[in-house]
Amino acid sequence: MVWVNAIVQGILLGGLYALFACGLSLMFGVMRVVNLAHGDFAVLAAYLALAIITGLHVPVLWSALVVAPLFGMVGYLVQRFIIQRSLDVSPLTTLLVTFGLSIVIQNGLLEGLSANSQSLPSGSLASASFQVNNQLSIGYESVIVFAVAVVVLVCLQLFLSRARLGREVRAAADDQEAATIVGVNVRHVYGVTAAIAFATVALAGVAFGMYSSFNPAAGPQRLIFAFEAVVIGGVGSLWGTLAGGIILGLAQVLGSQVDASFGVLAGHLVFLMVLALRPSGLIPARLS
Amino acid sequence: MTDTSAMAGRQRVTRSKRSAAWGAVVGVVVVAALFSLPYLVYANVTGVLVNLFILVSLATMWNLLAGYAGLISVGQQAYIGVGAYAVFVLAGDGISPFLAIPLAALISALVGLPASFLLLRLRREYFAIATWVVAEAFQLIVVRFDSLGGGAGAPLPGMVGLDPALRQAFTYWAALAVAVATLLGTYLLLRSRLGLDLTAMRDNEVGARSVGVRVGQAKRIVFLVAAAGAGAAGAVLVISQLFVQPTAVFTVQWSAYMIFVALIGGLGSIEGPIVGTVIFFFLQQTLADRGAWYLIVLGAVAVLMAMWVPRGLWGLISDRFGIRLFPVGYWLHGMNPPATGPGPKTESPQA
């Protein structure tokens, strides 16, 4: 039963990783940009949510409704003024610039706040759970996060396949020049893509803040987990990202069953194994 | 100055200009002065310089990777850690930590070899994050060994009984030696046939491949050299701190330092990381009592430089004044400007 419990927890944790990873996957799929400050923006969103919750005395879910659109706007501006400029210099520059941003955000948080760990107060949600039997209980919180992840992925998929703007995003992803010729404002479309990615990052940051504590230096590890989920699942497929998140979550939870300190390392080893054996990911990419 | 070819008329190609000859003279004088420093100043000065030399070595190696081979690594701390722990283990076996530095470099390169087969197949974004994951994995593995001090770390053996003044002087010379070795090594590497390959790759990788440059092999050599350099720097680091701790050697902060220094000083030149390190230390010392602000300022400056001045400060200086302290390219003298249009300058660096 311990193992069944671990498998259930691993799958649910995978939902959180998928929520983290879908923004990274989207930006990588459309612009070929890996935002190395991805995790730090998530931590920033968690701090902002904390400020809203303690300042306005509202529940966590309300704070997410403020933080996500706000981060959407931040994402649009970051894309138009920072990432686009770096892309124009060279693809390598985007890595260097977003890495620089990551360090600036981390140390800015460290200076402005403190190195102490914080967590988002989720009230009665934190302890409530389904009691399947006396050895297996499933927390509401992790089920909600998993459900949010699936809903976000479904919405993204529908947006990309059905909406006019989604079609423009796919066009820009496939061929930037051809998209420009047929009248797509590629830079604006890239901005919208980044806005969506940042909004999902904000949601993921809030979800992670409910799940576990965070501090200014927590970002890089979250970026690594998100990237691992993207690569394990395979770039260019949103469902692959969900699968990748679940595989990573399972590896970590099952690994920590073996030995408490082995969890994260087990996730890294699965990632490196996928890179060595199937660099294109486990799930074959179906171009949207 | 060596004429490599004498073309008809007044045109000729040289390897260096007078500035480079002066550069060599100044370089020898500077190294000699730095060598004699422990006899002249207090240990707190040499202590600061030890950190400066470590950073010059690291940034030079990172610049070789990124500036020439186009490999953006965020995980060179993996080899800093391997070098540090190699010294720790060798010192435990009774080998003097100072003599263990070259061995640590060699061990780092050996550890880098299997990693290179996994990493060098990857595209740039994958490569960057995979190097980082490898570094994280190294740390998580090291922590599991109690004999290596576990997560808390352990003091470096083999250093007790050494007179502190002597120990500090030896540490300083070791750091200086590693810095000079990485700079000189990079210089010689870039003057070799491999350097020509690397310069071609830096300018256009597809083009380089099409004229027969063995890009994969060149990248592997650079990767291993960079691992060895980072290992040597890590060895010096642990000797100067007398303590080895996984979170201190494997932190991604090292990558931040190397990247910021190389970006500010200038990618793709040997002088860049030296200029960048000097600026790094100036900022760090100026903002010393303001916590992490020096990193915020450095990061912001590095980001702006990467976006608007991709060749960094040294790029500006060398374009403006035509100076090359380390002549790894060729100069074309005495070319007549064409009758119309803005032609090439009479003296233009070609590399």
Q: Which SS3 state, helix, strand or coil, does residue B331 take?
A: strand
* pLDDT band with cut points at 50, 70 and 90 for residue B341: very low
pLDDT at B333 (0 to 100): 66
Q: What are the pLDDT digits (tens) for B237-291?
A: 999 988 888 988 998 889 999 999 999 998 888 888 999 999 998 888 888 888 7
| Residue among A89, A107, A224 whose CB faces B295 most closely | A107
Pick from A65-79, B20-34, B111-125 the range whose average pLDDT is largest. A65-79
Express as a percent the part of chain A with pLDDT over 90: 24
- Domain residues for the domain of B228 are 34-251
Q: How many domains does chain B have?
A: 1
- Matching residue, tokens 């750091």: B175
* pLDDT band with cut points at 50, 70 and 90 for residue B17: low
The side-by-side arrangement of strands in the sheet containing B12-14 is: B3-6, B12-14, B331-333, B348-349
Phi-psi region of B92 (alpha: psi -120 to 50; beta: other; left: phi over 0): alpha
Burial per residue of A192-215, b for 16 or more beta-carbon CB atoms within 10 angstroms, e otherwise: bbbbbbbbbbbbbbbbbbbbeebb
Domains of chain A by residue range: 2-277
pLDDT at A74 (0 to 100): 94
* pLDDT band with cut points at 50, 70 and 90 for residue B18: low
Please name the residues between 42 and 71 in chain A that touch chain B, using a CB distance below 8 Å.
Answer: none
For residue A54, is pLDDT > 50? yes
φ, ψ (nearest 5 deg) of residue B154? -155, 155
Mean pLDDT value across residues B111-120: 91
For residue B199, is it within any domain? yes
For residue B347, is it within any domain? no
For residue B351, is it within any domain? no
Contacts of B128 in chain A (CB under 8 A): 34, 36, 95
| Residue among A36, A93, A261 whose CB faces B310 most closely | A93
Q: Hey, are the CB atoms on B130 and A275 less than 8 Å from each other?
A: yes
Is B120 an 8 Å CB contact of chain A? Answer: no
Give the whole-angstrom CA distance, residue B105 versus residue B83. 6
For residue B266, is it within any domain? no
Pick from A259-268, B107-116, B125-134 the range whose average pLDDT is largest. B107-116
Q: Which SS3 state, helix, strand or coil, does residue B230 take?
A: helix
DSSP H or E stretch at residue A130:
strand A129-131
Q: Are A6 and A254 in contact (CB under 8 A)?
A: yes
Is A113 an 8 Å CB contact of chain B? Answer: no
Is A73 an 8 Å CB contact of chain B? Answer: no
For residue A58, is pLDDT > 60? yes
For residue B181, is pLDDT > 90? yes
Architecture of the structural domain at A2-277: Orthogonal Bundle (1.10)
Express as a percent the part of chain B with pLDDT over 90: 32
Q: What are the pLDDT digits (tens) for A231-286?
A: 888 777 788 888 899 999 999 988 888 887 788 898 899 888 888 887 666 655 54
For residue B47, is it within any domain? yes
Q: List the structure tokens of B214.
A: 């063995």
Is A217 an 8 Å CB contact of chain B? Answer: no
| Residue among B122, B295, B302 whose CB faces A279 most closely | B122
For residue B6, is pLDDT > 70? no
Q: Hey, are the CB atoms on B295 and A28 less than 8 Å from each other?
A: no
Longest dimension (CA), chain A: 63
- Number of alpha carbons in the 13 Å side-chain half-sphere of residue A249: 25
For residue B180, is it within any domain? yes
Give the whole-angstrom CA distance, residue B140 versus residue A9. 23
φ, ψ (nearest 5 deg) of residue A285? -70, 125
What is the pTM for the complete model shown?
0.87
For residue B12, is it within any domain? no
For residue B293, is it within any domain? no
Q: Are B343 and B297 in contact (CB under 8 A)?
A: no
